[in-house]
Structure 1
Amino acid sequence: MPTLTSPGVAVSVIDESFYVPSDAGTTPLFIVASAQDKKSGSGETTAPGTTTANANKVYLLTSQRDLTETFGDPTFYTDASSNPLQGYELNEYGLQAAYSFLGIANRAYVMRANVNLSQLTGSANAPTSAPTDGTYWFDLATSKIGIFEWSATNQQFTTKTPTLITSTGDLVGGLSTGAPKTSVGSVGDYAVNTTHASNKIYFKNDGNSWVQLGSNAWSISHPTIIGTKSTGAVTSGHSIVINGTTVTTNSTTFANVAERINAASITGVTAAVDANTGFIEIYSNGTSKSDGSTLDGKITLANGSGSILTDTGLTAGTYAAPQFYQAGHTLRPEWKSADTTPRPNGSVWFKTTTPNNGTSIVAKLYSSATSLFSTVSSPLYSTHHNAIYNLDPAGGGSGLTVGQLYTQFNITENSGLDTTPNVGDFQIFRYEGGTTVAQSKTIFPTFTSGEQFKMQESTASSLTLSTEKTVTVTNGDGSSIADNEDFVSAINGAGFTNVEASIVSSGQYRGAVQITHKLGGEIRMVDSLGTPLADAGFTSGNADAYGDYATTRTNKIDNLYQVPTGETLDSTANNALLISNWKRLSYVASTTAPTNEPANGTLWYDTNLEADILAHDGTSFKGYLNVYASTDPNGPQFSATEPTTQSDGTALVDNDLWVDTSDLENYPKLYRYNTTSTVKNSVSGISYSTNQPAWELVDNTDQTTESGVVFADARFHTTNGKTDSATTGGVGTAGSIKDLLSDNFVDPDSPDPALYPKGMLLYNTRRSGYNVKEYKNSYITTAAYPGSGSTGLGNTRQSNESVATYFPDRWVNRSANELDGSPNMGRKAQRKVIIEQLKAEVNTNQAIREDQRGFNVMAAPGYPELIANMLNLNADRNYTAFVVGDTPFRLGSTATELSNWSNNNAGAVDNGDKGLVSSDEYLGVFYPSGRTSDNSGKSIIVPPSHMIMRVLANNDNVAFPWFAPAGTRRGVVDNATAVGYIDSTSGEFETISVNEGLRDAMHTAKINPITFFAGAGIVNYGNLTKVAPTMTSALDRINVSRLTVYLRTQLNKIGKPFIFEPNDELTRNEIKQAVESFLLELVGQRALYDFLVVCDTTNNTPTRIDRNELYVDIAIEPVKSVEFIYIPLRLKNTGEISQLGS
């Protein structure tokens, strides 16, 4: 249009230089699975393509280095002997194929599905997650408990290693406060209850009872005095004197002596005759009084009248009871016979320092920054103030840091004297740091003037607390009522070194009293006249029990504790209070590092070969032994050969179960014993049947008859194990297979028994092994199963009981059953999980459907199950890619096997090991697999697509996509050294050469052979697409199919510049010319024999023009490849050939 108003020159540019851009060449899409959070190829960082955040993201990679930095080196697993695991489901076939492809090409798209292959690594133990940052661990494996048992006979100590109890199941009542069960340990053993913070130490006495060290029950577990004669008699009427009490016999037996001693009711003294030795033994429980009046724990034995002492071998004298002694290695107890106070056999020294096998409490702290537990020193001391003195003698607590630990022994703080003996226990405390503050929650308290309380404080450089001071609360103006200021003034004027009091000046508790130890030390106090402390708000009710810390803090005062029971400040009622910065340490006590429950969605490939199988009794599914009581008491037998007896040697009976482990590929092959099985036999060609005992195979696809089996989640616990009594959450502890046999509990999500007949088996996939499970948080809750009984549903399988007390989490079978009801187990379970995630991603990912991602070949190496999904993706992309399909690793090399698989004679419902379902003109299927090496040099087996993707790249580098990528010119395989398949029985790779007969069968089945030719090597020797058997067209060849892909892509590019142009003859001529020019070039490049383009009014009618449509009709004659060469050879007589032309 004219734009000038005055004379001048206006230059405009009209761009009519449209051309067809060149094709990017062979650009594949690799759909892969890999481990999560792998290291990059350099090993320095996490490979970004393997993180959860980047899962399902499509990456365009340009080199092998680019691939390894993005996805890490492809992982291929080996066994314990470093032998490669061929065909292993967790091998990263897709990444290896992409790596090989990028060796000769510089463009490849890679998409990793969101499935973590490393999570599917097999384990007999359920996975866990890392502990929470700041978790403390009492490491029982490396800790030592220094128990030394005294032998008065040998005058020496023996080191004793206690049993460390970590489960409340080993304690009476299943409670952490209970003593060990009698079923734990043997007589003479020691044990520590590590399930409770107090860590009580026990001894198992001759009565098979566990008693706490230092207790009265422990004291009388060891005789204080022992006679030396086991036979003989005493004279009736003779007497002895014990602690001033005369004991007279009325019979002649040793037993009568013991009976008379017990009948005398001497304080703390009992007697018995040892059942093994016959010796008379006299005991003190620690409360005996050797002078008859003063408690000292001793026994004075003297002769009364006659010869009882001589007759029994007892010796007159004063004897000390057994002692439990707690001290360091430098304070060895003086118990020898020559010492002042010898002690009897069984006395115990708890060595509180580490040298010479002394006690060493190993506490560790977890850091999420380092992902490691680090040891935190936790030395043993007798009191809080003793710990402060030893850890910070000069500072009195001011030099201690937050997180300092110490272990208190004798947590009752008994004196250790015979009058108040120590008891066996210890507890770990953590220092909270700073000044020690206890703030009351009672605002503006009032007091009766003249009330008093006693108070002690810890001071720097002092091992003990200060001498107690009496604090008197008085009103300064002489009134009978004192207030908070008077209370504060009384403390601050009492002359304490480190204690001061103040009034809270603001906030919710304004007007309340606050007591502080300036150095961070300890204060002890008790009301002595009236209740001034209680009036101020410092009471036992507001204080935590010593060594405890209540989770509900509504009425509790931080840092305020009740004193230990052996404390002496309040010698009468023990109502004293303690203010301290030492707080009970919350930790996990275990021999292995603590972990958290798995994250929701965590996968577990359970490799345990065990099974919980229930049976239908006509009403419900029950534990197997509750239906078939005489069957094997240990449940199903697992063996590679037929069992001939039950596991305990008992004869086999009807309904015994056996799982055949010789065929793990088809696990579980479950057999049921039948004593009257019908067995077919043949003699001299005559068939007949007999009834005899035999193992009968259970049909895993039979979920309808009494002989069948249903595979489903049923339960994880026994009746006793289902309850989360400690409200810890999680999944709890699995019931043992043996216990489950006699237990009828099932979860509410177990199969409805009304749908199955009597005799049906229920194979419980939740508790059984060899499958993949997924962890589900809050799976069994009242939200999912509300109510109970008549008010709701609850657990409908258990008489509608409430699930409120159940453990809420569950392991749920992730490797779903096949459509016929049979399970996926073993490697098939792993594969099922991987395939489902790959399929889900291909079906839903929008990035791989976008136009700008211009790939023209796609493959999911190792996964023929993805063929249908890739074909659907290709349809969504308007058929702009060719799909390279794999055959299964374990597909045998016979014509029958290949034909059956290709024609889906097994009736499979999806592509996979059983058969090939899909057919499409944009699909090529190849066979067999190949052998090559991974990036570390190990020999590995790879799927056909690994080889073919590189063959396509080589073909396109030297020719064009419309050339057949086959034969010795363009079909050479240069990334494999052998071809074959994996034998499903042995698991070994069988090398084959695809002979002509097999190739003929494969041609009919439309599977392209990869074979070896002498002088040429391994070559792809097929050019067929997997079209439907009834289809005959040029698209049954790969080169034509790829030509069509190319044409679709390029014609789309040609047509786009003409969109929105005027729909007239000029535009039609221009687009026709562009198309003809493009096709003419293809004729010269041997893609087409001829073509025809029509774009005029014959195919662009007024109606089409009015719809804003423009049609370009194209007819092409694609070049065909030479596949069958016939060379007739005629034999002629001499001279005949020269005469043919004459």
Structure 2
Amino acid sequence: MPTLTSPGVAVSVIDESFYVPSDAGTTPLFIVASAQDKKSGSGETTAPGTTTANANKVYLLTSQRDLTETFGDPTFYTDASSNPLQGYELNEYGLQAAYSFLGIANRAYVMRANVNLSQLTGSANAPTSAPTDGTYWFDLATSKIGIFEWSATNQQFTTKTPTLITSTGDLVGGLSTGAPKTSVGSVGDYAVNTTHASNKIYFKNDGNSWVQLGSNAWSISHPTIIGTKSTGAVTSGHSIVINGTTVTTNSTTFANVAERINAASITGVTAAVDANTGFIEIYSNGTSKSDGSTLDGKITLANGSGSILTDTGLTAGTYAAPQFYQAGHTLRPEWKSADTTPRPNGSVWFKTTTPNNGTSIVAKLYSSATSLFSTVSSPLYSTHHNAIYNLDPAGGGSGLTVGQLYTQFNITENSGLDTTPNVGDFQIFRYEGGTTVAQSKTIFPTFTSGEQFKMQESTASSLTLSTEKTVTVTNGDGSTIADNEDFVSAINGAGFTNVEASIVSSGQYRGAVQITHKLGGEIRMVDSLGTPLADAGFTSGNADAYGDYATTRTNKIDNLYQVPTGETLDSTANNALLISNWKRLSYVASTTAPTNEPANGTLWYDTNLEADILAHDGTSFKGYLNVYASTDPNGPQFSATEPTTQSDGTALVDNDLWVDTSDLENYPKLYRYNTTSTVKNSVSGISYSTNQPAWELVDNTDQTTESGVVFADARFHTTNGKTDSATTGGVGTAGSIKDLLSDNFVDPDSPDPALYPKGMLLYNTRRSGYNVKEYKNSYITTAAYPGSGSTGLGNTRQSNESVATYFPDRWVNRSANELDGSPNMGRKAQRKVIIEQLKAEVNTNQAIREDQRGFNVMAAPGYPELIANMLNLNADRNYTAFVVGDTPFRLGSTATELSNWSNNNAGAVDNGDKGLVSSDEYLGVFYPSGRTSDNSGKSIIVPPSHMIMRVLANNDNVAFPWFAPAGTRRGVVDNATAVGYIDSTSGEFETISVNEGLRDAMHTAKINPITFFAGAGIVNYGNLTKVAPTMTSALDRINVSRLTVYLRTQLNKIGKPFIFEPNDELTRNEIKQAVESFLLELVGQRALYDFLVVCDTTNNTPTRIDRNELYVDIAIEPVKSVEFIYIPLRLKNTGEISQLGS
């Protein structure tokens, strides 16, 4: 109170109106797993709660709409026939439970763990990641290669579909520049080598060799002239004349005719006798000269002396060689017999336009913004300037945009009028845009005055390049030495329309020469007298090869290329240069859309039912056939019934392997064949043993004996497949199971064979299927396994060889083994990954441990494995929440199964399918599961917590948390239509009614039954907490446990205003009064029978006061629920009841 120094009034306010704030009601925490990056409920945006950035974030949601906008609609999977997959590990049980809860409540916390369920959907193929933005794809599946083969016999074309080669393994030498291997295709087939940018087109000739279309070798694959007689003889000494050269026989056979033609060395002409028909055939390789001097690719055949033509069925005349013709659909070749130049069988028209099955090169561009490939037009033209003319005739290139594509055919630009004919190939080019600039890297060059070079340019509205001009570099003052200014002046004064030259005025290359085509067109040039271009820095050495673009640009000049090999500007040497904005397109050629390698940490549920199993030979683990050579050549057999022979029909032998697929729940059930197995039998009650062939089950938990098996990552490749020869990185190609059987390679992280006995099996989880794998970048590197050649260095499993050339990435088993060494496979593998991540988040998330997250009940729907973690979380929060625990979906409905599970008779080390480990007075466990429908109306199976969380909300809406949420008044389940369990064998939902006998067993096991009562529906009929069997207290009931949770929360709120108050009698009386007032209200609300509060000097001793402590001791008598009603019924004789009161 302030002191007044003059008359006045001083008013002060002392706030003693402390009260206990109301409770927020039932506020749960749902711990969930879901797919990542789902669509929101509206379908317009990504649901923010499902992004990686927001994983493990705790959301307070107030409505069902709020939930679906934050996490999307809960996903429940179906099979191909739209049948729900009940109990499927990727179903989003938690979100569905939260959605149901928010139907009658307006507050719920939801935390999604950072595990992407969509990554765990099964696939036989390894996952990939999206392509890089701007990736080009040559779509081979939708592209067409317009090859039309001519039949002179039928006078018509036949469309030919070529084989598209996409792997260098199909090419000679394994090189992209190689021709197809002879093992590819059949005689008469066509093929395109799409592994190289030049896309060479090949034909397979009668010699089973692949030859490039249009080449000399291709020309002689088809006869120009064919005789019509296969039998008979010629007269020795008779002659014929071919292209002016006389050929005289010296024997009587057709073969001699061919031999003499070949011996005559007539340019471009050869002959042979067809081995099948016996006809004599004369060939031109395209360089023949019908008049003996001028190359025209024809053969003139005339009789010399005698009757050779008649005897062989040959006809005199002039014949054109097979032609490879490249043109559009409007320029049909004139090869018919009535045309001027008929062509023989096998001639090919490469149709360069799309109509009528012509060539259509489909190039597509990937956009990360749309996550789609879009088609980019890529028409075919013969040259860069031809493309500019057709795409931008008026602008000459100025109207082209960056990214415009075109495909050049005949990329060598051969004319077909010399010894280098047109050949079949094509390449895709991309326009870089803007003016075309080539800047030299030679500064302040000097020249010999009078040197000359030729130059051509492309111009608007012209299909061809301009007439070449000769540019002479001279010194204006008459000196013999010219400089950069003289070079520039020579170009600028030569009268070009679009070409300009200038001197670089600044930067690293100041003083160098720059040549520009101002429309963005093309320039071609070549030194003709002296070396002025080379002096200026424009040489073939610093130009890229045509159609190429070197990665290292140190000495290369951008936009400067060597001209195509068929270029006519320089007919003596390949010194001509080209300046162009057309650049080789870098793309992926494939029949399926390209992808990138998976991101580090990508998960893959591998659904392949296959296994790579190695065997210990006493020294190391080796390929199975290398230890047991006579076993099945195809490896382990997979079938639902016992195999009676090996996969190839031969007899079974010792150590054959079989994986029983009839029980996928316990996969892999691995059997080993033993021809002398001890089999127990009995006759007339007398047991005896015999030795006979039998399949013996391998104990998956045995990692110590010769009959056991160890499950671990061992390898992904064979010896030949381990090397990253192309330094592409990634994981490489998996070795086939068949190849691995005879291969001994293992990765350096494979199990140490010194720890295992001879005969032990190694089940390679890296290469085998039906488990969950995780992609690891740079997993096998010299950093992890350094050096080589010494013990402990490199790959210690492979004689310490260096891992420097290995593929660096690996798929690593993510679904870790159980503690007994047995694997988690199938759905258990999926579940293992999910559970581990859920546990990690609950154990480490700090947000759910903060006081402001005021939840008082929690559940992880569908995951009983989380019970212990939620109990630990509750302990961290000072037991201010009640935990709703689930029972497994596949827990059967017999008293024995339920008791065994509840009492953990199987000896499980954690809560889960095998047993219940945890017990706690703040835990309630419920059984069985329920049937309901999801948001799309499909019938789904949900865990018990789905029903109980809503039961708790209903209970608290009509009563209080200290009322038992059970029975027909407050325990009615309104979000399920049936209860039951999933049969582990059939996978089907079995509806049950929890009868009284089963309820008795469940009461003893402290599992609360959810059952059906006629007239009431489905009801929670239990109020037990899962306390330890030896514990007997009021906390063995849910209503008392939840009362305690409520008291802990509210008493904490009551006490906080008194922190830092004086520790005296007044404060003690005030807090005692506040507590008593609160407890008295609870008495009126039927929570307590009675209570006692002590807060005075008896429990606040001087010692405690000196420690700044204040104690408020409270004793309560909680109200108990009625659970056992006994109604004795006595039968009396008539009149006796009326006399009882007298």
* TM-score band w.r.t. shorter chain: over 0.9
SS at match of 2:541: coil
Deviation, structure 1 residue 1046: 1.1
The question of whether the paired residues in 2 share the 8 Å contact of 1:441 and 1:512 is answered with yes
The question of whether the paired residues in 1 share the 8 Å contact of 2:395 and 2:461 is answered with yes
Unmatched 5+ residue regions in structure 1? Answer: none
Equivalent residue runs for 1:590-739 within 5 Å: 590-739=590-739
1:534-579, Cα deviation, whole Å (9 max, x unpaired):
1110001100000000111000000000010011111011210111
1:278-319, Cα deviation, whole Å (9 max, x unpaired):
222222222333344443333333334433332222223332
1:113-166, Cα deviation, whole Å (9 max, x unpaired):
111111211122222222222111111111110000011111111000011111
User: Distance between the aligned counterparts of 1:237 and 1:758, measured in 2?
Assistant: 81
The question of whether the paired residues in 2 share the 8 Å contact of 1:924 and 1:1025 is answered with yes
SS at match of 1:790: coil
**1:694–1:229 Cα change, 3 Å:** farther
User: Distance between the aligned counterparts of 1:689 and 1:207, measured in 2?
Assistant: 67
1:894-937, Cα deviation, whole Å (9 max, x unpaired):
11111111111111111000110101111000000001111111
User: Distance between the aligned counterparts of 1:797 and 1:300, measured in 2?
Assistant: 71
Matched, 1:71 2:67: no
Deviates more, 1:549-558 or 1:41-50: 41-50
User: Distance between the aligned counterparts of 2:800 and 2:857, measured in 1?
Assistant: 57
User: Distance between the aligned counterparts of 2:1021 and 2:775, measured in 1?
Assistant: 47
**1:576–1:942 Cα change, 3 Å:** same
**1:1079–1:704 Cα change, 3 Å:** same
Deviation, structure 1 residue 370: 1.9
Equivalent residue runs for 1:869-888 within 5 Å: 869-888=869-888
Deviation, structure 1 residue 385: 0.9
**1:691–1:319 Cα change, 3 Å:** farther
User: Distance between the aligned counterparts of 2:539 and 2:146, measured in 1?
Assistant: 38
1:991-1029, Cα deviation, whole Å (9 max, x unpaired):
000011111111111111111111111111111111111
Deviates more, 1:946-955 or 1:299-308: 299-308
SS at match of 2:375: strand
User: Distance between the aligned counterparts of 1:628 and 1:292, measured in 2?
Assistant: 71
User: Distance between the aligned counterparts of 1:906 and 1:252, measured in 2?
Assistant: 96
User: Distance between the aligned counterparts of 2:150 and 2:631, measured in 1?
Assistant: 51
The question of whether the paired residues in 2 share the 8 Å contact of 1:214 and 1:323 is answered with yes
1:320-361, Cα deviation, whole Å (9 max, x unpaired):
221111111111112122222222111111001111111111
1:216-275, Cα deviation, whole Å (9 max, x unpaired):
221121122222222233344444333344444444433333334334443333322222
Deviates more, 1:393-402 or 1:546-555: 393-402
For 1:453, the equivalent position in structure 2 comes to 453
The normalised TM-score by structure 2 is 0.98
User: Distance between the aligned counterparts of 1:911 and 1:179, measured in 2?
Assistant: 62
The question of whether the paired residues in 1 share the 8 Å contact of 2:609 and 2:770 is answered with yes
Equivalent residue runs for 1:257-276 within 5 Å: 257-276=257-276
Deviation, structure 1 residue 717: 2.1
**1:792–1:1032 Cα change, 3 Å:** closer
Matched, 1:961 2:984: no
Deviates more, 1:467-476 or 1:988-997: 467-476
1:13-67, Cα deviation, whole Å (9 max, x unpaired):
1111222222111111111111111222222222211111111111111111211
SS at match of 1:455: strand
**1:679–1:315 Cα change, 3 Å:** farther
Deviates more, 1:1100-1109 or 1:885-894: 1100-1109
SS at match of 1:97: helix
For 2:420, the equivalent position in structure 1 comes to 420
Aligned residues: 1142
For 2:104, the equivalent position in structure 1 comes to 104
The question of whether the paired residues in 2 share the 8 Å contact of 1:297 and 1:419 is answered with no
The question of whether the paired residues in 2 share the 8 Å contact of 1:296 and 1:419 is answered with no
1:604-648, Cα deviation, whole Å (9 max, x unpaired):
111122222222222222222222233222222222122222222
Deviation, structure 1 residue 722: 2.3
**1:949–1:1103 Cα change, 3 Å:** same
**1:877–1:138 Cα change, 3 Å:** same
**1:968–1:597 Cα change, 3 Å:** same
User: Distance between the aligned counterparts of 1:731 and 1:762, measured in 2?
Assistant: 22
**1:974–1:521 Cα change, 3 Å:** same
SS at match of 2:447: strand
**1:273–1:614 Cα change, 3 Å:** farther
User: Distance between the aligned counterparts of 1:678 and 1:986, measured in 2?
Assistant: 32
1:1024-1070, Cα deviation, whole Å (9 max, x unpaired):
11111111111111111111111111111111111111112222222
CA RMSD of aligned residues (A): 1.6
The question of whether the paired residues in 2 share the 8 Å contact of 1:786 and 1:792 is answered with no
Deviation, structure 1 residue 742: 2.4
SS at match of 1:287: coil
User: Distance between the aligned counterparts of 2:790 and 2:741, measured in 1?
Assistant: 30
For 2:168, the equivalent position in structure 1 comes to 168
The question of whether the paired residues in 2 share the 8 Å contact of 1:297 and 1:418 is answered with no
User: Distance between the aligned counterparts of 1:524 and 1:654, measured in 2?
Assistant: 75
The question of whether the paired residues in 2 share the 8 Å contact of 1:77 and 1:90 is answered with yes
Deviation, structure 1 residue 791: 9.8
The question of whether the paired residues in 1 share the 8 Å contact of 2:295 and 2:417 is answered with no
**1:826–1:300 Cα change, 3 Å:** same
The question of whether the paired residues in 2 share the 8 Å contact of 1:284 and 1:297 is answered with yes
User: Distance between the aligned counterparts of 1:180 and 1:618, measured in 2?
Assistant: 45
User: Distance between the aligned counterparts of 2:594 and 2:347, measured in 1?
Assistant: 35
Deviates more, 1:164-173 or 1:799-808: 799-808
User: Distance between the aligned counterparts of 1:282 and 1:248, measured in 2?
Assistant: 15
User: Distance between the aligned counterparts of 1:19 and 1:951, measured in 2?
Assistant: 30
Deviation, structure 1 residue 192: 0.6
User: Distance between the aligned counterparts of 1:342 and 1:655, measured in 2?
Assistant: 69
User: Distance between the aligned counterparts of 1:304 and 1:905, measured in 2?
Assistant: 107
1:1047-1094, Cα deviation, whole Å (9 max, x unpaired):
111111111111111112222222222222222222222222222222
1:1087-1142, Cα deviation, whole Å (9 max, x unpaired):
22222222222211111111111111112221211111222222223333333333
1:416-455, Cα deviation, whole Å (9 max, x unpaired):
2364320000001111111111110000011111111111
User: Distance between the aligned counterparts of 2:334 and 2:626, measured in 1?
Assistant: 61
The question of whether the paired residues in 1 share the 8 Å contact of 2:791 and 2:800 is answered with no
The question of whether the paired residues in 1 share the 8 Å contact of 2:818 and 2:824 is answered with yes
User: Distance between the aligned counterparts of 1:384 and 1:301, measured in 2?
Assistant: 41
SS at match of 2:1067: helix
The question of whether the paired residues in 2 share the 8 Å contact of 1:224 and 1:284 is answered with yes
Deviates more, 1:331-340 or 1:565-574: 331-340
**1:678–1:277 Cα change, 3 Å:** farther
User: Distance between the aligned counterparts of 2:791 and 2:943, measured in 1?
Assistant: 58
Deviation, structure 1 residue 984: 0.6
Deviation, structure 1 residue 830: 1.0
Deviates more, 1:379-388 or 1:117-126: 117-126
User: Distance between the aligned counterparts of 1:26 and 1:271, measured in 2?
Assistant: 98
User: Distance between the aligned counterparts of 1:173 and 1:43, measured in 2?
Assistant: 52
**1:501–1:685 Cα change, 3 Å:** same
**1:16–1:676 Cα change, 3 Å:** same
User: Distance between the aligned counterparts of 1:738 and 1:298, measured in 2?
Assistant: 54
The question of whether the paired residues in 2 share the 8 Å contact of 1:469 and 1:494 is answered with yes
The question of whether the paired residues in 2 share the 8 Å contact of 1:325 and 1:416 is answered with no
Percent identity over the alignment is 100
For 1:943, the equivalent position in structure 2 comes to 943
User: Distance between the aligned counterparts of 1:925 and 1:129, measured in 2?
Assistant: 42
**1:910–1:585 Cα change, 3 Å:** same
Deviation, structure 1 residue 2: 4.1
Deviation, structure 1 residue 598: 1.7
**1:238–1:790 Cα change, 3 Å:** farther
